[in-house]
Chain A
C-alpha cells in the first residue's frame, strides 16, 4: 500500500486544487435518472484510458511494452463502424453485437501477432509493437478508406455514451474488466506467473512456466483492452476516424502505469496504482479546463506532473535529494522546486 502513497497524494492534491478553484466540483446530482457531475465526468472520459492502461500494466509487468495500442484503438473502432454502416438496420442488436465481435476478434488477433513476435521470435517488445503502431494507423485508414465513417446506431451508442443503472456504461465496463483482472491475477496464480516472467523470463521457463504462451496471452489481452477502448471512443462520437482515434493514447497509458508505481523494468505491477495513474492524467486535463488555464498549456502541466511523479519514485533521486534533510522537511516542496529549475 505504501507504493500507492505518492500517486494517491498527487491525485488528492489535484482534487484539492479543484476544491479551492472550482465551484460545485464535488457536486453530484441526478438528472433524468443519470448521475451528473465533474467527478463522474472524470471517470466517464477516463474510462478508455483506464482500460488501455490496465492492459498495458500486465504487458509492462512482463518487462515488455506495447506501443501499438493507439493503432489498435483506431482499427477496432474503424472495423466496428464499418460493419455497422453496412447493416440494413443499424439499430439491430444482433448486428451491432456481430460488429463488436468482429472488431474485438481482430484486436485479439493483432495482439497475438505482437505476442508472437515478442515471445517466439524474440524481438524487443518496443520494436515489435512499433511495427504495428506504424502499420496499424495505415490499416485503420485502409479500413475507413481515409474517410470518417459516421453511423447512427443506438445500441452501439450505449457503449461509450450511454447510461445503465444511472451510471455511464463505460464505467461499468471498466469496473467489470478491473474486477476480472484483479481476480485472475491476484486470486489465481496468473499474476505471480506474469511477475515471474517479468523478473526473469529464462529462469521462469526453466522452472516450468510456459512463458511463451503466457506472453502471447498478455499481449492479446492488452490488445483486447485497447479494442474495447476503441469501441468506447468511436461509440461516444458515433464515428470512426482512422487517423486521430486513440492518437498518443499509448503514451498516456504508459505514463499512467508508470505514475501508478509499476516499474518499466518489469517483475511487479499494481492495478490500483494504474487506475490512480489514469485518473491523475484525466483529472489533470479536467482541472486545467475547469480552472481556466488555457488548454494549450495542458501538455506543459502534464510534462511537469510526469517529471515530478517519476522523480519522486526514483530511488536514486530520493537518495540524492532527501539525504541531507531526511528529518523534518515535507518532501514535496524541495522536489517540486528541483523540477521547476530543470524545465
Chain B
C-alpha cells in the first residue's frame, strides 16, 4: 500500500514532495504515535492483531471512504452514503431467504450504482449543489429502508454466514476476515484507477478547476457522473461488508456514517475544495478513527462520547495544518 505514496516525478519534484505528501505523512506519523503510546500505556495493546482488528471492524467504512474520496477529489460531497449502506443491508436481508445470494449481491450493487449515477446526473445537468441533491438521496434511501421494514431483519443465508465466520490465518495469533481482503482489493483498484487511468486524471482535473477541465476538452459530465456512481457502488459494497459483519439488515444501521467517511477523508489530507489528496491518506484516516475507538475501549473508564470529541479535535488540528500548508505553499510558488 505504500506504493500510493511513491512520488511519480521523483527527480524533478524532490523538493516539492514533502509539501504534497505532508498531510499524509502527518496522519501516518499520528497513527504510529497513537499506536506507540497505546502500546506503552496498555498491556497487550502493541500487537499486530490490534491493527488487524481495526481493519476488521472498519472494513466497510474503508470501502465507503474510498468512494467518498473520489467525490471529494472532484470538489463535490456525497451525504447519501450512510443511507445507501443501510438500504443495502435492508434489501439484502429481506431478499436473501428467497433469492440466491449472488443475485442479491449483484442487485444491491446495481441499485447503489444507479442511485449514484442518478444523483450525479442531476448534479451535473440541472446544476443543483451536490450537498442538496445527495441530501435528498439520503432521505430517499433512508425512507426506502423504513418502507421495507422498521425492524432489524436477521440474515441466516449460508454464503453470508460463511463469509462472516471465516478466519484467514496470516501467522500464529494473527488473523483477518475476508471482508478485509475485499476492502484492500477495493483500495488497490481505486488507487490504480486514480493514478494510472484517464478517469483518474480527469477526476483530479475536474477537482482542480472544472472550467479549465471543460475548456481542455475533458469529459466533465462523464467524470462527475462517474464519481457519484463509484461512490454509490462503494456504499453498496460497504453495505454488503456491513451485512457480513452484523449479519442483519436494519434501517438504523450506519446512521451518521457519512460524517465518519468525510472525517476520514479530511484527516487523510484530501482538500475539500477538490483536486488534491491521496487514497493512502484516506486509508490512514480510517485507521486513525478506528484506533481512537480501540484506545477508548482499552482505557475503559472513558465514555464513548469522548470518541466524538477527540475526532472533532483531530479534524480541527488537521484542517488548521492543511490551511498552514496551503498558504505557505502558495506563497512559495509565487
Min CB gap A342→B, angstroms: 5
- Contact A316/B126 with A133-B259, A343-B140 known, Cβ cut-off 8 Å: yes
B211 at interface, CB cutoff 8 A: no
Pick from B137, B147, B262: contact of A297, CB under 8 Å: B147
Pick from A134, A255, A258: contact of B308, CB under 8 Å: A134
Is B309 a contact partner of A139 (Cβ separation < 8 A)? yes
Is A141 a contact partner of B303 (Cβ separation < 8 A)? yes
B196 at interface, CB cutoff 8 A: no
Distance of A134 Cα from B312 Cα, bound (Å): 6
Is B305 a contact partner of A137 (Cβ separation < 8 A)? yes
Encode contact with A along B313-334: 1 for CB under 8 Å, 0 otherwise: 1011001100100000000000
Is A254 a contact partner of B135 (Cβ separation < 8 A)? yes
Counting chain B CB atoms within 10 Å of each CB, the highest count among A122, A131, A242, A302 belongs to A131
Pick from A126, A130, A342: contact of B122, CB under 8 Å: A342
Min CB gap A260→B, angstroms: 13
- Contact A300/B315 with A121-B320, A315-B127 known, Cβ cut-off 8 Å: no
Q: Give the residues in chain B near A122, CB-CB below 8 Å.
A: 323
Distance of A132 Cα from B312 Cα, bound (Å): 7
Is A302 a contact partner of B139 (Cβ separation < 8 A)? yes
Min CB gap B172→A, angstroms: 39
Min CB gap B129→A, angstroms: 5
B136 at interface, CB cutoff 8 A: yes
Is A138 a contact partner of B118 (Cβ separation < 8 A)? no
Encode contact with B along A285-310: 1 for CB under 8 Å, 0 otherwise: 00000000010111111111011001
Distance of A298 Cα from B143 Cα, bound (Å): 7
Counting chain A CB atoms within 10 Å of each CB, the highest count among B129, B131, B135, B313 belongs to B135
Interface residues of B in 243-274 (CB under 8 A from A): 259, 262-263, 266, 272-273
Encode contact with B along A51-67: 1 for CB under 8 Å, 0 otherwise: 00000000000000100
Number of A interface residues at 8 Å Cβ cutoff, please give it.
Answer: 50
Is B312 a contact partner of A142 (Cβ separation < 8 A)? no
A87 at interface, CB cutoff 8 A: no
Counting chain A CB atoms within 10 Å of each CB, the highest count among B127, B143, B323 belongs to B143
- Contact A135/B312 with A126-B77, A303-B143 known, Cβ cut-off 8 Å: yes
- Contact A134/B315 with A141-B303, A306-B132 known, Cβ cut-off 8 Å: yes
Is A121 a contact partner of B136 (Cβ separation < 8 A)? no
B4 at interface, CB cutoff 8 A: no
B224 at interface, CB cutoff 8 A: no
Encode contact with B along A114-134: 1 for CB under 8 Å, 0 otherwise: 000100011110111011111
- Contact A146/B303 with A127-B272, A258-B132 known, Cβ cut-off 8 Å: yes
Distance of A270 Cα from B138 Cα, bound (Å): 26
Is A142 a contact partner of B129 (Cβ separation < 8 A)? no
Q: Give the residues in chain B near A137, CB-CB below 8 Å.
A: 305, 308
Counting chain A CB atoms within 10 Å of each CB, the highest count among B263, B272, B305 belongs to B305
B128 at interface, CB cutoff 8 A: yes
Q: Is the interface of B mostly helix, strand, loop or mixed?
A: helix
Interface residues of A in 265-294 (CB under 8 A from B): 265, 294
Q: Give the residues in chain A near B319, CB-CB below 8 Å.
A: 123, 127-128, 131
A26 at interface, CB cutoff 8 A: no
Distance of A343 Cα from B143 Cα, bound (Å): 12
Distance of A258 Cα from B133 Cα, bound (Å): 11
Q: Give the residues in chain A near B272, CB-CB below 8 Å.
A: 124, 126-127
B307 at interface, CB cutoff 8 A: yes
Encode contact with B along A127-164: 1 for CB under 8 Å, 0 otherwise: 11011111111110110001000000000000000000
Q: Give the residues in chain B near A301, CB-CB below 8 Å.
A: 143
Is B137 a contact partner of A303 (Cβ separation < 8 A)? yes
Is B323 a contact partner of A121 (Cβ separation < 8 A)? yes
Q: Give the residues in chain B near A27, CB-CB below 8 Å.
A: none
Q: Give the residues in chain A near B142, CB-CB below 8 Å.
A: 299
A317 at interface, CB cutoff 8 A: yes
B165 at interface, CB cutoff 8 A: no
Is A138 a contact partner of B129 (Cβ separation < 8 A)? no
Pick from A65, A304, A310: contact of B133, CB under 8 Å: A310
Is B305 a contact partner of A146 (Cβ separation < 8 A)? yes
Closest to B317 in A: A131
Distance of A130 Cα from B79 Cα, bound (Å): 13
A251 at interface, CB cutoff 8 A: yes
Is A141 a contact partner of B312 (Cβ separation < 8 A)? no
Pick from A124, A133, A251, A297: contact of B135, CB under 8 Å: A251
- Contact A134/B128 with A296-B147, A299-B143 known, Cβ cut-off 8 Å: no
Encode contact with A along B291-312: 1 for CB under 8 Å, 0 otherwise: 0000000000001111111011
Distance of A296 Cα from B146 Cα, bound (Å): 5
B125 at interface, CB cutoff 8 A: yes
Question: Can you spell out 17 A-B residue pairs with CB atoms less than 8 angstroms apart?
Answer: A121-B323, A123-B320, A127-B319, A130-B266, A135-B316, A138-B309, A146-B303, A264-B131, A265-B129, A297-B143, A300-B143, A303-B140, A303-B143, A310-B128, A311-B126, A315-B127, A317-B128
B contacts, CB < 8 Å to A: 77, 118, 122, 125-129, 131-133, 135-140, 142-144, 146-147, 150, 259, 262-263, 266, 272-273, 303-309, 311-313, 315-316, 319-320, 323
A contacts, CB < 8 Å to B: 65, 117, 121-124, 126-128, 130-139, 141-142, 146, 242, 251, 254-255, 258, 264-265, 294, 296-304, 306-307, 310-311, 314-317, 320, 342-343
Q: Which 8 residue pairs are nearest across A and B when measured between Cβ atoms? A: A135-B312, A299-B143, A138-B308, A300-B143, A296-B146, A303-B140, A141-B305, A138-B309
| Given A130-B263, A142-B306, A320-B125, 8 other A-B residues pairs in contact with their CB atoms under 8 A | A124-B273, A126-B272, A130-B315, A131-B316, A294-B147, A300-B140, A302-B143, A303-B143
